[in-house]
């Protein structure tokens, strides 16, 4: 049986591993002891225990990973000719994993909620609690950024703590510039109803050496001429992502550090090497992370083993999906054309998460959830 190493077990890596588990020997390498999703930041900050139930899942809870050997460690390099990846385990011992096919799915870093650092389960839970407590203690909150993470954070903080002053600053005329206009109009109304103060045309000055690793309280300066702004808590969610590719040779990367891929998600010039998710330079939005490309990638890996034709990934032209996360009245999902579809609140746990996500997408998830 051929051996596939999946470097990175975030959302895309886990799903790809599940798809391949019945057809190949799969080894997954992760710096975490489970899936810690980078999605739904607003939900994570405002209701961490609820968020964790669906987005912080130890690997042994996934029935679909029962045939997958998961290894915790930090990736340090790859020998493309010999077909090996190298890593340091949590105890500091160096190790190597040989492969017949390699999937690069190490994702990106973007603030304290998306970090490649080696972490224990206790450290993950501690991080969830501390960010929530920081927001809970603040009387005023500023969110910097115009993407879904920023918009969702401002909305959920305002809804969870109605007495707070919450302001959202973004550089363009509108936020959610990669979503359809209809989606922004709907979300803008929700923000105003929740009491979020909207400040368009404000481009924040990023402090020198700032790593976006924490919620801050320093005043925010703007390069667009407006006075500085201050709050008890400042959340930077500006979308300045850094690909987690320090362990890869430069020949695999584009000018921004993302992994170059063909339409088939194959790394050019290297048979058996593929990339998926936010780290893969598939298109300007790097949309294979959100368009279920895991099934196509798993099929292409097995097709390459059998010397059969590979299929192409066709990216969406706009962002789509949930923006504000689950609320008391349900979950609103936006299609690429900006039209919303609502899952009623009663259906979120019973149908969407239980049947569609846990059983359908993840092939079964056990109930022993860590306490947050």
Distance from CA of residue 320 to its chain's centroid? 14
Q: Would residue 95 be called left, alpha or beta, if left means φ above 0 and alpha means ψ between -120 and 50 degrees?
A: beta
Quick: pLDDT tens for 274-296.
999 999 999 888 888 777 799 99
Decide: pTM greater than 0.95. Answer: no
Which contiguous run of DSSP H or E holds residue 29?
strand 25-30
Q: C-alpha dihedral over 125, 126, 128, 129, to 10 degrees?
A: 120
Q: How far apart are CA 175 and CA 45, in angstroms?
A: 20
Comparing C-alpha atoms, which of 289, 244, 283, 282 is closest to residue 264?
282
pLDDT of residue 286: 85
Average pLDDT of the residues in 310-331:
90
pLDDT of residue 291: 73
* Dihedral angle sign, alpha carbons of residues 50, 55, 59, 61: positive
Average pLDDT of the residues in 249-259:
97
pLDDT of residue 166: 98
Helix H segments across 75-137? 121-137
Average pLDDT of the residues in 205-232:
90
CATH superfamily of 3-119+241-319: FAD/NAD(P)-binding domain (3.50.50.60)
pLDDT surpassing 70 at residue 8? yes
pLDDT surpassing 70 at residue 369? no
pLDDT surpassing 80 at residue 212? no
pLDDT of residue 210: 78
pLDDT surpassing 70 at residue 356? yes
Quick: pLDDT tens for 310-320.
999 998 778 88
pLDDT of residue 276: 97
pLDDT of residue 211: 75
Quick: pLDDT tens for 33-83.
999 999 999 999 999 999 999 999 999 999 999 999 999 999 999 999 999
Are 144 and 238 in contact by the 8 Å Cβ rule? The answer is yes
Comparing C-alpha atoms, which of 112, 170, 159, 140 is closest to residue 324?
159
How many other CB atoms are there within 10 angstroms of residue 138's CB atom? 21
pLDDT surpassing 80 at residue 170? yes
First to last CA, the chain: 40
pLDDT of residue 287: 85
Q: How far apart are CA 325 and CA 41, in angstroms?
A: 9
Quick: pLDDT tens for 71-123.
999 999 999 999 999 999 999 999 999 999 999 999 999 889 999 999 999 99
Q: What are the angstrom distances between the C-alpha of 3 and each of 15, 46, 308?
A: 17, 41, 18
Domain spans of the chain, in order of start: 3-119+241-319
Confidence bin at 213 (pLDDT 50/70/90): confident
pLDDT surpassing 90 at residue 236? yes
Comparing C-alpha atoms, which of 66, 40, 65 is closest to residue 52?
40
């Amino acid at each position: 049986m051929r051996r596939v190493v999946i470097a990175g077990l975030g959302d895309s890596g886990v799903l790809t591993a599940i798809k391949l588990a019945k057809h190949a020997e799969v080894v997954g390498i992760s710096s975490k002891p489970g899936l810690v999703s980078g999605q739904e930041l607003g939900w994570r900050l405002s209701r961490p225990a609820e968020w964790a139930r669906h987005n912080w899942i130890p690997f042994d809870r996934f029935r679909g990973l029962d045939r997958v050997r998961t290894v915790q460690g930090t990736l340090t390099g790859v020998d493309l000719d010999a077909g090996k990846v190298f890593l340091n385990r949590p105890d500091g011992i160096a190790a190597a994993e040989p492969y017949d096919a390699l999937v690069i799915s190490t994702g990106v870093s973007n603030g304290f909620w998306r970090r490649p650092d080696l972490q224990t389960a206790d450290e993950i839970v501690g991080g969830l609690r501390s960010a929530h407590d920081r927001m809970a203690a603040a009387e005023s909150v500023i969110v910097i950024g115009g993407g879904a993470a920023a918009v969702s954070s401002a909305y959920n903080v305002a809804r969870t703590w109605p007495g707070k002053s919450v302001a959202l600053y973004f550089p363009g005329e509108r936020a959610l510039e990669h979503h359809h206009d209809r989606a922004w109009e709907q979300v803008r109304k929700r923000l105003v109803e929740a009491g979020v103060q909207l400040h368009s045309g404000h481009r924040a000055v990023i402090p020198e050496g700032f790593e976006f690793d924490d919620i801050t309280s320093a005043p925010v300066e703007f390069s667009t001429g407006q006075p500085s702004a201050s709050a008890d808590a400042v959340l930077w969610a500006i979308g300045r992502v850094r690909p987690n590719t320090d362990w890869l040779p430069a020949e695999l990367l584009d000018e921004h550090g993302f992994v170059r891929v063909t339409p088939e998600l194959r790394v050019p010039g290297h048979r058996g090497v593929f990339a998926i998710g936010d780290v893969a330079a598939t298109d300007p939005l790097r949309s294979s992370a959100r368009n279920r490309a895991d099934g196509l990638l798993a099929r292409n890996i097995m097709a390459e083993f059998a010397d059969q034709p590979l299929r192409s990934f066709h990216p969406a032209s706009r962002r789509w999906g949930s923006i504000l996360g689950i609320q008391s009245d349900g979950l609103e999902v936006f299609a690429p054309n900006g039209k919303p579809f609502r899952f009623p609140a009663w259906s979120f746990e019973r149908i969407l998460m239980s049947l569609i996500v846990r059983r359908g997408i993840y092939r079964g998830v056990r109930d022993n959830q860590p306490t947050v």
